[in-house]
Every structure is written in C-alpha cells, then in structure tokens.
Structure 1
Amino acid sequence: MLTVPSFFSGIGESLSGSVLQAGALWTLQNVPGFPPVIQTVHILGIAVMMGSIVLLNLRILGLAIPSQSVTEITNRVMPWFWIALASNVISGAFFVFGRPMRYFNNPVFLWKLAALLPAVALTLVFHWLSRRQTDYWQLSPERTWVARVMSLLSIALIIAVCTAGRWIAYLEYLEYPLWSLEPYFDGSEYSFWVGVENLGLSQVIAATNWFPTLETIHVIAAAMVVGSILWVDLRLLGLAANRYPISTLNRELTFWTWGAFSIATFTGLGMF
C-alpha cells in the first residue's frame, strides 16, 4: 500500500479541526454553487498556465510562435502565468483545507507538490534572468541550449503536476489496478449503449488504469486548447500581442489548437 512520510501526514493532522478547515468547510457548504465555481476557476487557471508557460517553452524550442522573440513572449505571458498560479493556489486551498486528511494522506498529492515546487522555481529563475538582461537567453549558443533544456524540464514538470492533480482522486487505481471485468446491465431494457458498455474495450477502460490515464490526457489537452485559443481572443480584444496581425498569431497557434483538440476528442470518446 502506498504511504506518505509521517511529517507530511502530520501537516494534515495539524490542519484537521483548525480555523482554516472550519472556514473552508463553511464556505464550501454554505455559499450557493461555490464548489463547482471554485473548481471551474481552478481548471481555467490550469488552462491559462498551459497557454502561457507551455507556449513559451514551445517558442524557446522553436516549435511555436516563430514571429515573436523569446523576450517578447516572456514579457507577455509571464504575468498571466503568475496570476493563474496564484488563482490555482487559492482555489485549490479551499479543497485541501476542507479535507486535509484526504490530501495529506495521499501520496499522489505529495507527488504533485514535488513536481509543482521545482516547476515554479524553474519558471521564477527563467523569468528573473530574462528581466535582468534583454535577450538574455539569445546572447550566446550556450545560453540558448540552457534555455532549451530548462524548457523541456519545465514542460515535463507541468505535465507531471497536471497528471498528479487528476490522479489524486484515483489512488485506488494505483493500489488495485485491475478491477472486476463483468458485463454491465442496469436492469433496464437492453439498448445500444448497454451493448457498448459491455464491449471488452469498454470494460477494460472502465475497470483499469486506462480510465484515469485517458482523463488525465483529456484534461491536459483541453487545457491546451483553451490556453491557445485564449491568446487569439486576447489579441482580438486588444489585450495581448497588439503588434502582431491576428492572422499571423492564429496561423502560428492553429496546429497546437487542433492537435490538442484532436487528442481531447479521442480521449473523451474513450472515457465515454
């Protein structure tokens, strides 16, 4: 059975019964519609983070938005990243403080923090050096390669954070990866959809690690779709990249938008 270090579970114990837990529970239970609203804010924050830091990393790797320099896109997207990060910390805190033992006894939550902290630190260092000197990462081949390595590591860490975030709710799939594969029948008249439910592939997806895996990929892809579209929308509103034609920005992001949309559609059908 997967466990967490005693110091980590001790944090959950100290939060249990605290003022923070009482405040979070009161808000979640008494403010109409607050749980789905705050969860939506959290998911939108993930989309903004994907649409900022991931696109920046792709630009550094030469895979997206070639019309904008690394310095320009860094200055443009980093404020959005920090705002989204702060939003996610605040929105996520309501659920963590509301049920601290659920999270601090969950090793997947520990893995999420273990990926999140270095991801934030790496982004902070990159942003600080970028502000310290104009075109800092483009002044020498060595710095360019360092930036590319940092970008690959940043993308890996962000994906790890999103993956762990989804798997927090699926800890049992890690401990008991194969569930009972039995035909599904809810007692109603047999229909086409019941037949689909009884397909071997459907049962494997529903009863094994495939379901949370598909959901994880689906959420990451959907966040990338929203994040990439967001930049075009902000340009249309005159709030970002005003120096660049809308057609240019749209053309440079189309591949990533439709690629992520295709992945989200495929994984969504798998879960369906």
Structure 2
Amino acid sequence: MRHCALVAAAVLLAGGAQAQERDRTDAEPIAPYKIVLVGDSTMAPHSGWGGAFCAKHVKSSVACVNAGRGGRSTRSYRQEGSWDIALAEARVPGYRATYVLIQFGHNDQSSQPERWTDETIEFPANLRRFVGDVRGAGAIPVLVTPLTRRDFKDGRLKNTLASWSDQVRGVAKALDVPLVDLNALSVRQVQEMGAEMATKLAQEPPSDTELAAARAGTTLPAPPTPPTPPPIEGNGPRGQVTRKFDYTHLGDIGAEVTARLVTQALAHAVPGLRSQLIK
C-alpha cells in the first residue's frame, strides 16, 4: 500500500513539473468600444430599432447601451434626468472610443405640454447642447435624423418629419458632427415597399380594415393605444410592454430592417467604427 502511495505521489510531482515547464503568457489588454443610444420610442427597446442594433449588429468588443425612451423629446429627455444618465455612461473610462447616437423629432413635434419644442429655435438649440455635452464628456456625438412614419395617401408616403430632419442636418453640418440620415433612408425604403408591405414593420398585424386601406394606398389614422393590462402577480418578472399596430413603432421585423439601415449608414459616417459593426 505504501508503495502505491509513493508511486502516485511521484506521478503527481512529475505532472506538476511538466505544467510548470509549459510556456505561459498574459492576455493582451482589451481595447473595447462603447455606443450609447439616446432617443425616443423609435429607438427604444421593444418599440424601436435600438434593441436589434445592439443584439445583432455590433461585435462583442462593443458595449452597446440603449438609453432610448418612449415619449421623449429633446426637452423632456433632459428635464427628467435621462440625459444625465446617458452622459454618465459616456464618461466611463476604459474604452478606446465612445460614441453617442442622438435621435429625436417625433415627440418634439407633439402637442403634449411636457414634450413639444419649437422646431426652428428650441429643437436645434437642444441638439447643439447635446453635442457640446457629449464632446465635453470626452465622447463622440453622432446625430441621427428621425425615422419616418409610415403614413400614406394615394400611394405616396407623407414624410411629416422632413423639416425636422432638415434641422438635424443643419446642426450636424454646422458643428461638424457625423450624421446618420435615417429619415432619408427610411423614406426611400418605405416608399419602395408601399403601404401594404410597410404594415409588416409594425409591432402587431393590422386589422382587416387597416390592411384593406393600405392595399388601396391610403393609411388610416393610428388607432388609440390599448389599455394598460392588469398587473402581473407572483414572484417572477412583472414588467410589461404593450404592443400595438400603428404607423410609427417597430416590431421584430421592423427593428431588424431599420437596424440594418442604421448600421450601413453608421459605417459610412464613422469610419473608425467599421471594424466593430456587423452587416
């Protein structure tokens, strides 16, 4: 028995010696990137393109933070404190470069008291302030024109965000900021799809009446938001997302289609990110 124990000990010692003789190096320090998404529901999780972008179109060397929030304008996003949170993300050290993509417009043209902004004065001024804040945080701003709504009349898309997109383009040019012209890209894409095919981009399928109108080339007024479902009981997750059919928000197909547009345009606008983006 003692002989067996001595043999086992000798084998272990020999193995340890071999392990110590193997070459050993340390991993190279990582040089990751970071992308922070700032905007409204057309970017936000579950209703916009941001979730698909972060999940499928960046490499694992990119920390992608979707801080888009539904119902926000350039004014309310700052006033409620969401902008402070986004800036805190932009200031986190350790990244080779941090980019902040900023997309607003839908709720700036709202009539709701806490949202609306003046189109020609306040809206561009708010964008300029965002750009200055991002640069002050040591990050790189990228402006994004607002995603088009999918409203049609007689077969032609009604681009209700055209002039607001002009304001974004003007700020980008004046301040030398990279621009993702999502409005122009999405207008072209949705017009080519036509009203009927464009209904597939929504969160939920259209009703028979809505689909018939789309086939005729003229969309109906957006239906009201469904009532909030009753609270979920129990010890599991309780968060809920209300999905609906409309001509603004994106379902799974719409999010992926739009995320591809953003990815391609971002690669052109920001060459330094090309190696980190996946088509």
- Shorter-chain TM-score bucket reads under 0.3
Bigger-Rg structure (1/2): 2
Q: Greater strand share, 1 or 2?
A: 2
Q: Greater helix share, 1 or 2?
A: 1
